[in-house]
A and B are shown apart, each in its own frame.
Chain A
Amino acid sequence: MVELFRSEEMTLAQLFLQSEAAYCCVSELGEVGMVQFRDLNPDVNVFQRKFVNEVRRCEEMDRKLRFVEKEIKRANIAVIDTGENPEVPFPRDMIDLEATFEKLENELKEINTNQEALKKNFLELTELKHILRRTQQFFDEMEDPSLLEETTLPLEPTEANRGAPLRLGFVAGVIGRERIPTFERMLWRVCRGNVFLRRADIEEPLEDPASGDQVHKSVFIIFFQGDQLKNRVKKICEGFRASLYPCPETPLERREMAAGVNARIDDLQMVLNQTEDHRQRVLQAAAKTVRVWFIKVRKMKAIYHTLNLCNIDVTQKCLIAEVWCPISDLDSIQFALRRGTEKSGSTVPSILNRMQSKQTPPTYNKTNKFTSGFQNIVDAYGVGNYREMNPAPYTIITFPFLFAVMFGDLGHGALMTCAALYLVLRESRLLAQKNDNEMFSMVFAGRYIILLMGVFSIYTGIIYNDCFSKSLNVFGSGWSVRPMFDPRVGGNWTVDLLENTKVLQLDPAVVGVFKGPYPIGIDPIWNIATNKLTFLNSFKMKMSIILGVVHMLFGVSLSLFNHLYFKRPLNIYLGFIPEIVFMTSLFGYLALLVFYKWLAYDVFTSREAPSLLIAFINMFLFSYSDSGPQLYAGQSVIQSLLVVIAVACVPCMLVVKPLILRRRYLWRKNLGTQNFGGIRVGNGPTEDEAGIIEHDQLAQHLDDEPEACVEEEFDFGDVLVHQAIHTIEYCLGCISNTASYLRLWALSLAHAQLSEVLWTMVLHIGLSFRSFGGVPVLFLTFACFAVLTVCILLIMEGLSAFLHALRLHWVEFQNKFYTGQGFKFLPFTFDSISEGKYDD
């Protein structure tokens, strides 16, 4: 039971692994996931470690697998996830795996290169086909003599063979459609307008073999005269990466060529299809096993990486590892070692030997799926020191409760509970789906927190009597209007008064107007009262102060258990006691006053009830003369006494503790002994560990060691400054933290107002129709209302209330007892590998 409130007891242990059994043992430990290996050769370069070669081979395999996976993804084949967790392969199987992957990779690479070449070929042929088809049209136009005339116009009139039919040269090719305008302009400028360009778009996009993208292209044909122009045109085409194709001059040849090209395209298409089929088959076969391969390879890599952390014995017969492990799990670790040894067939068992150490062990809090969310909230602030009080168990209740105080609405709470229930009940199915969405996985990880937040919101909603900003009148309101009209019991309302006044106030002093409080929560009549806010604000403000004081006092009391556990009596007498006295005498008293005022004044005396705030301020000023009536007799004496006590606590915390520490230090120094019997008490971390060591059976061997450790140097100034900071922080913190709890009131007010605004601005429109015409409007406004409720009130307001609850826990609650400067226990485990999440 104690384990729930503190982190696990850890021990440092040495593992002696026989070199032939080491691999199997480490793999079994990885499956158990309960040991954290320490690096025994921190000063050795990564490349000089023993198993660097194996790690490298694993990495190479991993790379090949990633290549295969990429190809599978590109082919749109789903990787089959059977959820199976394969065993770690033996080291001797590594060669087989390597050979398999090598073969697969080579095969895929070959297929890819072949396919690319084929596709390139195919593209060229298709382009040629288009050229032949399109150019035919151009040539037909050229035959037309009138057009010919036009094309020759820009030519020099002095040209020799002017009268003869022109022998125009031409080139034909294909170019990307987006390059055409610049291409055209360039041709025109460079050739000074002496070329003639015709182009036509190819309608269907062509596939680029290198990137696999679809590109739009155009066919062009350029007519020119003379070799010089031809060279220029060709250069420009090259520059624009246009592919030129030979195009026969006579129509007959062109037709023949087209027929040949078409036949070749058909052949090529068939080959391409077969290649693609083959590729699909190979990839589909790989997709079935690629996940298992990944897990195997990554497990192997993790094992070799871990083995690299071990120390190699001089005799090379065994590996020595140092591990942190929880004492409660030593048996399962021993068992795993035995299994590993058996599996490897080694005859010499691997040995686990517990060690004593002065080092601080890592913090390990065992969690299950319910508590892990809350532990994460605590760990996000800081991982607890070793064996420190863990705030997580209390957070399970206080966190959703404080959230709900700010989110109090029956309807919204019910919606949130439904959403969380869906996540919780369909847990296993949703887990199997492995949704990668970051937002969703965050919400899913906190499903139990959300569930509790929803349930608690329902509770606070009932207390506030708020359901989508409307009250539920289940038990019947305690207020009645009728006696106000009855003069016999003191009622002074008349019909005339009703005619002339907008707002009237019920008088609870009149018999029968107020018949007693509502059985649970706030009376529903307040929902339609105009002075609702005045009433609710006073209630919620006082409630937040009371909750805050209780929460903080609880936090301070938890620090007592820390001091008791770590055996620091000085901290109890000069830390805990003054702290709790200080807080109770000021703020505990304030909370008591709130209750007193609630109980002591009834409807007849409430007019002369003094303001609590003024009374509290006057308490510090010691002014009791001009502040009107007192709350109770003897108030001034008690209050003065409380203030004096509280002030007296400050020097206790501030100076007495450092002075005592100093005296003790001097005394010890004068005595000149290090080992002061067993009665030496102090508060340094060394003593705590000494206390733990005493319980260990093996402590006898190391008895001499404490003498070796040097007594900590005592710096009085340092201690004094540290203590002063702590004291000032605590005393000022008490005031500011109490005020900080007022956020409970502010947020709950904001939430209630926002939901009321949403109702009157949206749903009210749909309801306020006097005929059936309101039905479609109501239908639409309800949809808006629902969407806005979820977006603004549930998600946005919920997030803000969550953040404020988080702050109240981290700052106001945990700083009373929680140091949070430990480091987390990171066991060597295959869990993350088998789940498919992988980070180096």
Chain B
Amino acid sequence: MPSLLFCGPKVAACGIVISVWGVIMLGMLGIFFSAKSAVLIEDVPFTEDDIRNDKNPPQTIYGLYTQVGINCFIAAAIYVAVGAVSLCQVRLNKRQEYMVT
């Protein structure tokens, strides 16, 4: 069976930490963007035209908010995957340790 182990214990631990943090923070950001938080307005990529040419005033901006929120959720999901892979690596590393000693 080819070994699925491709990184050492330290990299795997680092991956777990970053992905836990990423899932929590990106998930929260996603929620806040979906809730149209005013504090995050600077991070929403709207232009002058979005305000001027809006037929139903805040809807275009709200649409952008939702889009960014969805992006955040997808990125959080990727981090879930990264975390799962890192967890597997940690397990494999542990098994390797037992096998050596």
Interface positions of A (Cβ within 8 A of B): 411, 415, 468, 470-471, 473, 524, 527-528, 760, 763-764, 766-772, 774-775, 778-779, 782-783, 786-787
| Those of B43-79 within 8 Å (CB) of chain A | 43-45, 64, 67-68, 70-72, 74-75, 78-79
Asked if A778 contacts B37 (CB within 8 A), the reply is no
The verdict on B38 contacting chain A, using a C-beta distance below 8 Å, is: yes
Chain B residues at the A interface, C-beta cutoff of 8 Å: 18, 21-22, 25-26, 29, 37-45, 64, 67-68, 70-72, 74-75, 78-79
Shortest 10 CB-CB contacts between residues of A and residues of B: A768-B45, A767-B43, A778-B75, A774-B71, A775-B74, A779-B75, A779-B78, A786-B18, A471-B39, A775-B71
Contact of A778 among B40, B64, B71 (CB under 8 A): B71
A468 to B41, CA, bound (A): 15
Interface pair A782/B37, CB less than 8 Å apart: no
B46 vs chain A, min Cβ distance (A): 9
Residue in A closest to B63 when the chains form the complex, CB atoms: A770
What residues of chain A lie closer than 8 Å to B25, measured between beta carbons?
411, 468, 782
Whether A783 pairs with B43 at a CB distance below 8 angstroms is: no
Which residues of B have CB within 8 Å of A778?
26, 71-72, 75
Distance in Å: Cβ of B24 to nearest Cβ of chain A: 10
Determine if A786 and B39 form an interchain contact, defined as CB atoms under 8 angstroms apart: no
- With A786-B18, A786-B21: A473-B67 Cβ-Cβ less than 8 Å: no
Give Cα A774–Cα B37 distance, bound, in whole angstroms: 19
Cα distance A772–B67 in the bound complex, in angstroms: 8
B45 touches A528 (CB 8 A): no
Is the contact region of chain A dominated by helix, strand, or loop, or is it mixed?
A: helix
Q: List 27 interface pairs A-B (beta carbons < 8 Å), by A numbering.
A: A470-B40, A524-B39, A527-B39, A528-B38, A528-B42, A764-B42, A766-B75, A767-B43, A768-B43, A768-B44, A768-B68, A770-B45, A771-B67, A772-B70, A774-B68, A775-B71, A775-B74, A778-B26, A778-B71, A778-B72, A779-B78, A782-B22, A783-B18, A786-B18, A786-B21, A786-B22, A787-B18
- Note all chain B residues with C-beta closer than 8 A to A473: 37-39
Closest Cβ of chain A to B64, distance in Å, is: 6
Apart from A415-B21, A471-B39, 7 more pairs, CB < 8 Å: A468-B25, A767-B44, A768-B68, A775-B78, A778-B71, A782-B22, A782-B79
Among A415, A528, A764, A766, the residue within 8 A (CB) of B39 is A528
Task: Count how many pairs of residues, one from A and one from B, have CB atoms less than 8 Å apart in the complex.
Answer: 65
In angstroms, how far is the closest chain A Cβ from the Cβ of B91? 18
A411 CA / B21 CA spacing, docked (Å) = 11
Kindly report which residue of chain B lies nearest to residue A772, judged by CB atoms: B71
Compute how far the CA of A524 lies from the CA of B40 in the bound complex, rounded to whole angstroms.
Answer: 11
Nearest CB of B to A661, in Å: 63
Q: Which residue of chain B lies nearest to A78 when distances are taken between CB atoms in the complex?
A: B101
Partner of B68, one of A415, A468, A527, A767: A767
Contact at B38–A767, with CB atoms within 8 Å?
no
How far apart are the CA atoms of A202 and B43 in the complex, in Å?
Answer: 66
- Look across to chain B and name the residue whose beta carbon is closest to the beta carbon of A528: B39
Contact in complex: A528, B41 (CB < 8 Å): yes
Distance in angstroms between the alpha carbons of A775 and B25 in the assembled complex: 15
Rounded to whole angstroms, the CA-CA distance of A786 and B22 in the bound complex is: 8
Shortest Cβ gap from A572 to chain B (Å): 54
Smallest CB gap from A525: residue in B: B38
Q: Which residues of A contact B64 (CB under 8 A)?
A: 770
B18 partner residues in chain A, CB cutoff 8 A = 783, 786-787
Closest to A789 in B: B21
- Name the distance in Å between B100's Cβ and chain A's nearest Cβ: 12
Q: List chain A residues, Cβ under 8 A from B40.
A: 470
A797 to B16, CA, bound (A): 24
Is the pair B45, A782 in contact by a Cβ cutoff of 8 Å?
no
Please, how many angstroms separate the alpha-carbon atoms of A767 and B44 in the complex? Answer: 7
Contact call B68/A764, Cβ cutoff below 8 A = no
Q: For the complex, what is the distance from the CA of A165 to the CA of B72, rounded to whole Å?
A: 90
| Residues on the B chain within 8 Å of A771, using CB | 67
Taken together as a complex, chains A and B put the C-alpha atoms of A70 and B35 apart, in Å, by 65
**Residues in B neighbouring A768, C-beta threshold 8 A:** 43-45, 68
- The reply to whether B42 and A779 contact each other, CB–CB distance below 8 Å, is no
CA distance in complex: A787, B68 (Å) = 22
Instruction: Give the residue name and chain of the A residue nearest to B42 (CB).
Output: A528
CA of A602 to CA of B35, assembled, Å: 34
A164: shortest Cβ distance to chain B, in Å? 69
A787 proximity list for chain B (CB < 8 A): 18
Q: How many whole Å from B34's CB to the nearest CB in chain A?
A: 13
The residue on A at minimum CB distance from B41 is A528
Closest approach, in angstroms, between the C-beta of B3 and any C-beta of chain A? 24
Q: Which residue of A528, A770, A786 contacts B67 across the interface (Cβ within 8 Å)?
A: A770
Inter-chain contacts of A528 with B (CB < 8 A): 38-39, 41-42
When chains A and B are docked, how far (Å) is the Cα of A763 from the Cα of B67? 16
| CB-CB nearest in chain A for B35 | A473
Q: Which residues of B contact A468 (CB under 8 A)?
A: 25
Q: Write out the residue numbers on chain B whose beta carbons fall within 8 Å of the beta carbon of A770.
A: 45, 64, 67
Residue of B nearest to A760 (CB): B42
User: With the chains together, A415 CA to B18 CA distance in Å?
Assistant: 11
Give the docked Cα–Cα distance between A669 and B17 (Å): 75
Minimum Cβ distance to chain B for residue A658 (Å): 62
A764 to B64, CA, bound (A): 14
Report the minimum CB–CB distance from A496 to chain B (whole Å).
15
Q: Point out the residues of chain B lying under 8 angstroms from A772, CB to CB.
A: 70-71, 74
Q: In this complex, what residue of B is CB-closest to A419?
A: B17
CA–CA, A771 to B71, complex, Å?
8
Does B68 lie within 8 Å of A782, measured CB to CB? no
How many Å lie between the Cα of A768 and that of B71 in the bound state?
A: 10
Interface centre among A471, A473, A767 (most CB of B within 10 A): A767
Cβ-defined partner of A769 (8 Å) among B21, B45, B78: B45
Most chain B CB inside 10 Å of its own CB: which residue of A468, A470, A778:
A778
Q: Which residues of A contact B79 (CB under 8 A)?
A: 779, 782
Query: A792 to chain B: closest CB distance in Å?
Result: 16
Of chain B, the residue at the smallest CB distance from A780 is B75
Chain B residues positioned under 8 Å from A774 (CB to CB):
68, 71
Closest B residue by C-beta to A465: B39
